[in-house]
Amino acid sequence: MIGLIDFIFESQPIGELLTFDEFADFFNSDDTEMSKEKFDKQFADKSALQRKVLRKYVDRWAVEISKMNLEIDDNLLKYLYSQLCDTPVSKLDKVWGSGEEACIFNLKDKIVKCFYSGRIPSDRKKFFEICKDKKYDVFPKVYRIGKGYIIMEKLEIETSKCKKYFDIIDSSKHGDSIYHLVQDKKYDLSEMNDDEKEVINWLENVRIACAEAFGNDPETNEDFGDLQLANVGEREDGTIVYFDI
């Protein structure tokens, strides 16, 4: 019976268990890592099962973020809460991820990237500003640049199309890889098939976009940044996007 209650409870959306003010309390508290006694007292009106789940998921987010120098503002909290309202409790642990320099909230059709340092590196910030302008379709859409975090579109990674692109990019059947042929501007489209032409056109667009992101002349720039399969994704419309320079 207890197992059934747990199952029913954890299938509830977080919005049915926490108000926004309660959600914000986790992040605004000076003592984020609450003792069990303090936690139970603060949320005394919640059932034992509710408190158990809130500690397991939401409090963990607050503890992780409290380790950063990130300034948590209302815009970020309201966005996170609005996206989580419809998320079943049992899936909360699946919207969290972390990398070398930032943590990721993977929410619906967007992600929130929070930098551990509490600030966005200047070169990355320029990249995100260019993305926000939506000038280049090969860069991701950025919706908000906050203090130490960004909100951007979510992409599917390691799709079959992404892998196909990199199989072609790494191909050396023309004497050198497509990547180096484009980098050195020594390719002959008349010798390429349709798939190779599509990838070359994409690489040229990436080269031009990266030139602006790096502050270089698009006519002479040969730097594609950290172009690898792990740093590209696919939109629903099939567009391949380079999301991490």
pLDDT in tens, 117-176: 778 888 888 889 999 998 899 999 999 898 888 889 989 999 999 999 999 988 888 878
pLDDT (0 to 100) of residue 34? 57
Compute the mean pLDDT over every residue in the chain, rounded to the nearest whole number.
Answer: 78
CA distances from 140 to 107, 127, 157, 206, 211 (A): 16, 10, 13, 12, 16
pLDDT (0 to 100) of residue 100? 72
Strands (E), the chain: 96-98, 102-107, 110-115, 142-145, 149-153, 156-157, 232-234, 240-242
The tens digit of pLDDT for each residue in 58-68 reads 666 666 666 56
Q: Show me where the domains of the chain are located.
A: 2-93, 156-242
Residues in the chain: 245
Q: Which two tokens stand for residue 189?
A: 């489209």
Q: What gap in Å lies between CA 165 and CA 196, rounded to an integer? A: 9
Q: In 3D, which of 66, 83, 56 has the Cα closest to residue 25?
A: 66
The ranges of the chain with pLDDT < 50 are: 1-6, 32
Counting Cβ atoms within 10 Å, is residue 57 exposed (0-12), middle (13-18) or buried (19+)? buried
Its pTM stands at: 0.66
User: How many Cβ atoms from other residues are within 10 Å of residue 142's Cβ?
Assistant: 21
